[in-house]
């Protein structure tokens, strides 16, 4: 019997804690199950931390090291299911190394790619546009600094259920959400400060499985936009576009706030809605309607809602555990 199999857990833990070199940690993961359970989390806790010389060396080694063939033999895809990156836009070598890493992690399921930058104009795509083809099993994606081609290729991820798009000032979202209808999306979050979402309402309404929708855009008319987005026919309508919707957050940076009548209609027809965050304009007092399904109501008030009106809304939502009204001065 191997000596390593006879070692007590405390001894194995002390050995692993003593090792800092990533290649030695990798060898530990191949020793036996006990070593693997202790060494693997330490090995991959921060695989792209560029402040750590040893991990930065691994990234560079994927590109320049003469032992590149040895790296290709590492069974990364056998156990890597999640990768989180904080990219540096000016570091083109790291961007290329990350692209190569995706090539050897085809079983990846969760990926987060964001980056640091001081000047918006220097933003460059950090997400490989062929990522959906390299990792077709992706089910959760959170990215910034992506290209139009990346969005168009996402329909290859037929298990994609969660998608966070941080578009900032590039405008890549506009007109490029149509392919998402082939994905079983349950959560979509889009932050795009140059995007007029009204132009993509039809594509958004194709995502009928959505239970969570979060949008930050520059549309102007909250009431009209929400009526077109949430309902398939003109008001008054009960023909809702997202029958599974439980969480809705809409922020129109140039909007004028939703009126009380529209807000009541949304809460009445979307009977499964549990969390709502939206901009309003001077809520009125409501009497009669009760929304027992609502647990969280966060309102950004562009006008002034009286304390009496606030109390009436609290009474109308007996299950509320989170109720906030923030007054916005423009």
DSSP 21-54: -HHHHHHHHTT-HHHHHHHHHHHTSSTT-TTSHH
Supply the Cα-derived Rg of the chain in whole angstroms: 25
- The sign one gets for the Cα dihedral 211, 216, 219, 223 is positive
In the three-class reduction of DSSP (H, G, I as helix; E, B as strand; rest coil), residue 328 is classed as coil
What integer pLDDT is reported at residue 146 of this predicted model?
Answer: 83
Give the separation between CA 47 and CA 54, rounded to whole angstroms.
10
- Average pLDDT per run of 10 along the chain, which is 330 residues long? 70 87 81 86 61 46 45 56 75 66 83 68 67 93 87 93 84 83 94 87 94 90 87 81 95 84 92 94 85 93 88 91 83
What is the pTM (predicted TM-score) of this model?
0.76
Helix (H, G, I), strand (E, B) or coil at 143: strand
Burial 102-119 (b: 16+ CB within 10 A, else e): bbbbeebbebebbbebee
**How many angstroms separate the CA atoms of 18 and 16, rounded?**
5
* Structural domain spans, the chain: 9-45
pLDDT of res. 273: 95
Q: Exposure of 225 by Cβ count < 10 A (0-12 exposed, 13-18 middle, 19+ buried)? A: buried
């Amino acid at each position: 019997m191997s000596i390593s199999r006879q070692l007590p857990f405390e001894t194995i833990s002390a050995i692993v804690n003593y090792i800092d070199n990533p290649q030695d940690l990798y060898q530990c993961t191949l020793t036996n199950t006990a070593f693997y359970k202790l060494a693997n989390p330490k090995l991959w806790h921060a695989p792209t931390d560029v402040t750590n010389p040893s991990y930065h060396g691994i990234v560079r080694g994927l590109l320049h090291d003469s032992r590149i063939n040895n790296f290709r033999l590492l069974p990364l895809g056998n156990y890597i299911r999640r990768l989180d990156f904080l990219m540096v836009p000016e570091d083109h070598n790291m961007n290329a190394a990350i692209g190569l890493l995706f090539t050897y992690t085809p079983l990846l399921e969760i990926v987060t790619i964001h980056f640091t930058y001081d000047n918006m104009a220097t933003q460059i795509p950090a997400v490989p546009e062929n990522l959906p083809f390299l990792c077709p099993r992706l089910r959760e994606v959170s990215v910034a600094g992506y290209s139009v081609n990346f969005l168009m290729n996402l329909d290859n991820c037929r298990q994609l259920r969660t998608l966070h798009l941080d578009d900032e000032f590039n405008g890549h979202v506009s007109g490029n959400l149509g392919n998402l209808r082939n994905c079983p999306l349950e959560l979509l979050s889009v932050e795009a400060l140059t995007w007029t979402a009204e132009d993509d309402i039809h594509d958004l309404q194709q995502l009928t499985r959505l239970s969570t929708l979060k949008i930050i855009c520059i549309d102007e008319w909250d009431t009209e936009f929400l009526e077109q987005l949430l309902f398939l026919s003109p008001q008054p309508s009960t023909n809702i576009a997202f029958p599974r919707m439980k969480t809705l957050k809409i922020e129109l940076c140039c909007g004028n706030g939703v009126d009380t009548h529209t807000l009541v209609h949304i809460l009445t027809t979307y009977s499964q809605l549990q969390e709502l965050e939206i901009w309003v304009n001077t809520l009125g007092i409501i009497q009669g309607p009760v929304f027992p399904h609502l647990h969280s109501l966060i309102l950004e008030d562009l006008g002034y809602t009286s304390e009496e009106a606030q109390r009436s809304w609290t009474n109308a939502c007996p299950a509320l555990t989170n109720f906030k009204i923030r007054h916005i001065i423009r």
